[in-house]
Amino acid sequence: MMEQSISRHSSNTPRGFRVHAPLVDSVSCYCKVDSGLKTVAEARKFVPGSKLCIQPDINPNAHKSKNLRKERTRVQPPLLPGLPDDLAIACLIRVPRAEHQKLRLVCKRWSRFLAGNFFYTLRKSLGTAEEWVYVFKRDRDGKISWNAFDPTHQLWQPLPPVPREYSEALGFGCAVLSGCHLYLFGGKDPLRGSMRRVIFYSARTNKWHRAPDMLRKRQFFGSCVINNCLYVAGGECEGTQRTLRSAEVYDPNRNRWSFIQDMSTAMVPFIGVVYDGKWFLKGLGSHHEVMSEAYDPETNSWTPVSDGMVSGWWNPSISLNGRLYAQDCRDGCKLRVYDGATDSWNKFIDSKLHLGSSRALEAAAFVPLNGKLCIIRNNMSISLVDVSSPDKQVESNPHLWENIASKGHLRTLFTNIWSSIAGRSGLRSHIVHCQVLQA
């Protein structure tokens, strides 16, 4: 009967067309043609070629449960009960950065929301993003540790441990890309020697991640960031026992390293800065002579530099708002500024409050923080300098120079004098790198 109906249907079908079997649900099983048949062998008498069924019994609610799951994913609970999500987001982006770790523990949706780029991009666009200072220190035993300083609450915040490969590394680089990713790269591992390894920490996720390795192993090299690309040059390679001329650049958008023009001569840089669109480096050559070069990314070329800027250039220094600043005393309490018109360094500002000359009080780094020049010393004391008003005097405008009482800050004249005397014999710990991240 079935064969006859099929043949009649096929006879009425126009030529060139084929009759296809109807589509069926894959979860259904049709080997049991009758409920009275107990075995597959009995089923084969009526359905030739039937096989053992490996599908579960038909579940009439299978499709309903799938639809219910889809409906539940579409209708998510609100971020804040009783408020639409746009208002809830407006509230959450205003929560201080120090509390973000607690927000992630509230629920899965909050955790996913804070882990995405939308949350921090919105904070940045609305001006609620906060800048923290990240400090890497090396203790007397050679161990690397790091801390983050919250200038809003003037507190040091805990951070995840430094990855093992950089826990005792020497001569590694440190830079910030995209404002929120802190990169550690190269350096010398005490056991493995010179490294090509690159890792980065995300201030948004509070986690470490891997990045592509550099093209050359190097240590004690120079590095900088121009147009959100990471440049490295010079340094040493332990295996070859020679000073390097090579230079390379990392583009985070392409996620790859590529070589750039070699330096004119090999160099181990000890100071560098990006100023007037160029990267200036000063260091020691192969025969320990002082050398200086400048790299122009527009022309991909290096040129020797021997002007007043380089000759009077001391470390630490910083380029801020188009001007170049450097310290004029060991504790960084006096600053100088470079004058391009006269090609010379001039006195800029004096705090009138000098801390001492010990290595513990030595200025280790200058970084930009909320539009001000931030001075970080080896004892973790911090000073903020408003460089936007160079004509004003500190005596009549005390807000121009602010000393923040922070971790390890020496507050009294007696402790300053004692630290100066004791600090000459040795340094318990010192700052290796210092950067600012925004989130």
Q: What is the pLDDT of residue 395?
A: 59
Q: What is the pLDDT of residue 417?
A: 41
Q: What is the mean pLDDT of each run of 10 residues along the chain (439 residues)?
A: 44 45 39 41 44 43 52 72 94 94 92 91 94 96 95 91 96 97 96 95 94 97 98 90 93 97 96 96 93 97 92 93 94 94 92 86 96 95 88 72 63 40 56 97
Q: What is the pLDDT of residue 399?
A: 79
Q: What is the pLDDT of residue 66?
A: 53
Report the topology of domain 77-125: Monooxygenase (1.20.1280)
Q: β-strands 382-385, 401-404: how paired?
A: antiparallel
Q: What is the pLDDT of residue 55?
A: 40
Of 288, 286, 336, nearest to 308 by C-alpha is: 336
CB 84 within 8 A of CB 77: no
| Buried b or exposed e, range 270-279, using 16+ CB within 10 angstroms | ebbbbbeebb
C-beta atoms surrounding 170 within 10 Å: 16
Q: What is the pLDDT of residue 332?
A: 93
Positions of CATH 1.20.1280.50 in the chain: 77-125
DSSP for 100-120 reads HHHHHTT-HHHHHHHHSHHHH
Judge residue 262's burial from the number of C-beta atoms within 10 Å of its C-beta, 0-12 exposed, 13-18 middle, 19 or more buried.
Answer: middle
Superfamily grouping for domain 160-306:
Kelch-type beta propeller (2.120.10.80)
Question: Residue 322 region, left (φ>0) first, then alpha (ψ -120 to 50), else beta?
Answer: left
Distance from C-alpha of 29 to C-alpha of 58, rounded to nearest angstrom: 7
DSSP for 232-286 reads EE--EETTTTEE---EEEEETTTTEEEEEPPPSS--EEEEEEEETTEEEEEEE-T
Positions of CATH 2.120.10.80 in the chain: 160-306
Of 251, 253, 259, 173, nearest to 215 by C-alpha is: 259
Structure tokens at 28: 């259904």
